[in-house]
Structure 1
Amino acid sequence: MDKIDRMRAFALVAKNASFTVAAQRMGRSARLVSKYVADLENALGVQLLNRTTRSVSLTDVGATYLTLCEPLLDGFDELEDRVRNEQTSLRGVIHISAPTGFGALRLIPSLAKFAEKHPNVELDLKFSDRRASIVEEGLDLAVRIGPMRDSSLKVRQLGRMPLVVCASPAYLERAGCPSHPRALASHECILDGNMTEPTVWRFSISGHEEAVNVNGRFRMNAPAASARLAAQGAAIARCPAYTVADALNSGDLVELFPENRVSPYVVAALFPQNRRITTRVRALLDHLAGDPALCPDGKR
């Protein structure tokens, strides 16, 4: 009997707490899956699962064994995937989350190029300005801009994105143009609800990063909407460069303090630490990281 089948049967039973579900996943009978697990326990000389007529649970040694065997199973599956894909095209579904504005303006054109090269790959896109839970929502990867706060996820840097402080000519004519970042304290500013400190904007002043306190009546969690509001003359905004590039080129917005920009935010793809990365997801990551049109505003 193949040891990989024994380990896979055990892992599926353990994760689903069910011999029946594990059997369905493997395409085998529940009796055969039970035999696989029993043979594995006999070979190891330990009990991996507690069994009753109503439930299945891990023993302490079973929990340890599951932790150790899952990477081995993932590695074996990856090996088979890579060998198969040497001879066949990539196929399957990739589940992706990204910020709404960045997804529509920058990610979609890059994904279109990827999809053209790999016609058998399906792309399931979820655009939202909230931070999606990658593991709970079953995502393969999430594209994010800014500080990467979740240390439980792996990070692949895709590019860099400057933050731009800007206002419309109409606002500057009405309220006056601030002569220094500190002067923003007396201006109407749009606060970003995605930030940990929405009322603190940071600038590079005389070679040092300095925090400037700002305030305003508008608080928003969508950068593209903040840029649109600023272009209407309502207030001063601080937005990722991709949201204001067209408005700056057309003159609808004017950048303030370009010489005081702080280090650009990182644009990155995040994915689970303990999940096997399939060949199709790895191919997508390589494609995004190598696409200069994804983040043309910041140096890679």
Structure 2
Amino acid sequence: MDTLTRIRAFIDVVDAEGFSAAGRRVGRSKALLSKYVRELEDELGALLLNRTTRQFSLTEAGHLYYRTASDILKEIDNLADLVRAGNADLKGRLRISVPRTFVDAEIGQSLIDFTLAHPDMSLEIISDDRFVDLVEEGFDVAIRITKLEDSTLIARKLDDFDIRFCATPAYLARYGPFAHPSDLARVPCILDTNGRSYSNWRFVDGEGQGFSVPVSGPIEVNSPLAALRAAEAGLGVTGLPDFIARAKIEAGILVPLFDAFTPRDRGIYAIYPHRRYLPAKVRTFVDFLHGWFRKRAER
């Protein structure tokens, strides 16, 4: 029996939190898994699991071995995926974290188009506006709409992204004119609380120096689509992702403000953990999205 099989058995038992549950999950008997783990411990000369009749727990050595062995097995599986990718159609499941803003907007169509183009693959889409921990929470890839910060993760830019500040013509007739972003401090605004500084809107001056304007208003909501509807109702100025505001601006329903003061440091990114051997399914997914956004920009 090879060491790799014993390692997989140990990881299966830990992931399933028990020998019986692991046996049901992987289709092997509890006795066989117990045998593999015991042989692994004998080979290492260290106890990995504390066993009782009802439960087990990891020893200190077991914790260390589990973390390192899991990473090694992922690299082995990813390398195998890369080799298979040149000889067979891609299959499998991708677990991705996506902001609700992305899923609900028209650019969410990119995820549907990917699934149509790769019928043997499936997507588990977790829609969440928080920044998940990809490694700890088991995500293959995440989509983030943000100003990119330093990270140990790998990022590929899919598209540019701007915030458009806008309001209805009737609102501007009532509260305007606006000569400078600082004027927003004195009028009702609609705040999208998804932003890290949602009540201090960021701008840049003619020399590229950043400044912020404190804003407040009748509605604070963690949804740009709800903020859009509030702006259409004339409740205030709001800052919207360009891919949500564009159609309303082009239709004349909303009027853009201060485009010359808008920072250009944001983007839409695909983020994935740093791995020596990137899984072929992740590479294919990211390449597809990159191409999808390029075609969209050319239209």
TM bin, normalised by shorter chain, reads 0.7 to 0.9
Distance change in 2, residues 1:294/1:166 (3 Å): farther
Matched AA of 2:239:
R
SS at match of 2:253: coil
1:56-67 correspondence runs (5 A): 56-67=56-67
The structural deviation recorded for 1:166 is 1.1
Distance 1:43 1:137 in 2: 31
Q: Which amino acid aligns with 2:222?
A: N
1:147 to partner: Cα distance: 4.6
Q: Distance in 1 between matches of 2:36 and 2:127?
A: 43
State the superposition RMSD in angstroms: 2.8
Aligned to 1:248: 249
Give the deviation of 1:182 after TM superposition.
0.9
3-state DSSP class of the match of 2:36?
A: helix
**TM-score (normalizing by structure 2):** 0.86
Change in 2 beyond 3 A, CA 1:29/1:140: same
Q: How does 1:1-300 map to 2 (within 5 A)?
A: 1-127=1-127, 130-131=129-130, 133=132, 139-147=139-147, 155-207=155-207, 208-271=209-272, 278-293=279-294, 296=297
Secondary structure, in 3 states, of the residue corresponding to 2:217?
Answer: strand
1:82 CA displacement: 3.0
Gaps of 5+ in 2: none
Alpha-carbon shift at residue 228 of structure 1 (Å): 2.7
CA distance in 2, matches of 1:265, 1:103: 18
What's the CA shift string for 1:124-175, capped at 9, x where partnerless?
44445x4375668765433232256896865443222101111111111121
What residue identity is the alignment partner of 1:162? Answer: D
- For the structure 1 residues 219 and 87, does the alpha-carbon distance in structure 2 shift closer, same or farther, using more than 3 Å as the test? same
**Residue 60 of structure 1, CA deviation:** 1.4
Counterpart code for 2:117: K
Q: Which runs of 5+ in 1 are unaligned?
A: none
1:106–1:294 contact (8 Å) kept in structure 2: no
Structure 2 residue matching 1:190: 3-state secondary structure: strand
How far apart in 1 are the matches of 2:243 and 2:295?
A: 10
CA distance, structure 1, for counterparts of residue 52 and residue 206 of structure 2 = 70
Which amino acid in the other structure matches residue 281 of structure 2? R
- Amino acid of the structure 1 residue aligned with 2:21: V
Pair 101,55 (structure 1): closer, same or farther in 2 beyond 3 Å? closer
8 Å CA contact 2:190, 2:238 repeated in 1: yes
Q: TM-score, normalising length from structure 1? A: 0.86
Provide the rounded CA distance (Å) in 2 between the counterparts of 1:268 and 1:6. 38
